[in-house]
Structure 1
Amino acid sequence: MLPVAAQQNLPVATAQTQNIKRIPLQRFEVPGTAYETVIGIAEIGPNVSIGRHTHPGPESGYVIEGGFELLVEGEPPRMLKAGESYKISPHTIHDAKTGADGAKVIATYVVEKGQPLAAAVK
């Protein structure tokens, strides 16, 4: 779900990296702040687990095709399908697992400039 510039920070299991295609769309500064917005599309193959991770700022997304199970720590699992959106608070541990059809998602992150976009969590 991340643009190319941020791929190094994505906590994806090595064996599944080839199952996620990331398409960067835009990265821009939030005027008058120390933050930037990062927008990208992720095409996630069938039956893929992204891996538990956090972001230093909020994440929001919209499912374009397919669907996935969103697993946010402290919340019940939530199934999302095409046409639905989600948001995740900063520093919240979460994961996502696609089903048999995979998923295509557009995601937006707001992060402090110079900070990693994501951090893996065991």
Structure 2
Amino acid sequence: MLSRRGFVSGALCATVGLALTQRRARAQKSPEQALKFLAKTEYPGDKYACILVKLDLAPGEHVPRHMHPGLESSYLASGNITLSIEGKPDLVVKAGDGYQIPAKTPHSVRNGSEKSTIVATFIVEKDKPLVELVPT
């Protein structure tokens, strides 16, 4: 027979295990999977597109090092982040700030202590993946 203490201990362990599994699964998503695509406009011809996306970040969330095949122009709608761009000192970005990242430049993002929302516009070649992970 299961005692109350045994039941509570088992339930607590199951809850913690489930939370850690969900966190690990979220961390293993690629940066592109976390993006919400808002709009896409193709330029005349068949080479470039303009893509508008939104990214919501949980407190303390880290977007791993990655790059894009074209220019990224972003606006931080809420929260605060630390942006690490290869070859440059870390940049602290606050709500209302904008930033740009050149094509094929490795970078990563670490969110602050509250939820943040980034709205980004990409000018990219049509047939290339929007996000490419870069080993550290």
Q: TM-score, normalised by structure 2?
A: 0.74
**RMSD across aligned C-alpha pairs, in angstroms?**
1.7
Question: CA 1:85/1:27 → structure 2, altered by over 3 Å: closer, same or farther?
Answer: same
Q: Which runs of 5+ in 1 are unaligned?
A: 1-12
Percent of pairs with identical residues: 32
Counterpart for residue 98 of structure 2: 85
Computing the radius of gyration over CA atoms, which structure comes out larger, 1 or 2?
A: 2
Deviations 1:71-105 (A, max 9, x none): 00100000001100000000101000001113101
Runs of 4+ residues over 6 Å off in structure 1: none
Counterpart for residue 23 of structure 1: 36
Q: Which runs of 5+ in 2 are unaligned?
A: 1-23
Q: Which has the higher contact order (CA 8 A, sep 6+)?
A: 1
**1:46–1:101 contact (8 Å) kept in structure 2:** yes
**2:76–2:119 contact (8 Å) kept in structure 1:** yes
Q: CA deviation at 1:33?
A: 5.6
**1:56–1:90 contact (8 Å) kept in structure 2:** yes
Structure with more helix by fraction:
2
